[in-house]
Structure 1
Amino acid sequence: MTDDAVTGSQDDAEIEIRFNSDGLVPAIAQDADSGEVLMLAYVSPTALKRTRETGQAHYYSRSREELWKKGETSGHTQHIREIRADCDADTILYLVEQTGGACHTGHQSCFYRTLDGTEVTERVFDPETVYE
């Protein structure tokens, strides 16, 4: 990834992200090579800034009310290739190189089951050994 992919080229007009009343915006993480949607989480201005500075995905945990770097505990990191904004600038897309599984349940993607509960993918790691 080039620095411009994370920080934006100086020739481009900077897009102003429209954070919601809680100061957050949804962020979709998508595998940059396969196109698989890996997860949806929320990003604060600080998380987005840290992501752009480091090239590693950062999010804001609503349950813990804190910034978190993806993979800090599990080692299953997301290296940012590109960050995109949707047409309304109220949702962002992280195109990532995923190391390990993206989901805390042990699956590659958080979208591993159908609405009737059928699991459509296998686990790629055992969460009990990762999150002891």
Structure 2
Amino acid sequence: MEPKTICNEFGSLKDVIGHFIEGDGITNMLISLELIFENGRIFHEAIPETDEIAIKSMPPEDACIAVSVKDMEPWSFALEREVLWVWDLYNQGRYVDGRQYSFCNTVAEGEVIVQLMVVASQIVIYIVTESHNKRL
């Protein structure tokens, strides 16, 4: 899925579905994350063999538990916002192991920056914030 298409055509974020498999018996592993927009959807899937992230238009083939996580942070902050920027993240081995999204409708409301990274065969979600340390 081309980042330009997401930014220009998909519209605002409407729902986020996490696809989980049973992990260590205590927690479930997030193996795929589906972002649902007004005019499209994107699946982010962890590739366990290489710890890369795959961007797809179809859900994962593995049997898993699908749960809406739109009311959880950081997604509750990003709902109803459009994607302003998209970054594919590469590690030092030149593997694409993450993707970063900036959600924003207006400058006044600010932006929400969410980073998806594949770590230990699962997707980990980070919120990116601006440093307010002016001495840097």
TM-score, structure 1 as length reference? 0.29
Higher strand share: 2
TM-score, structure 2 as length reference? 0.28
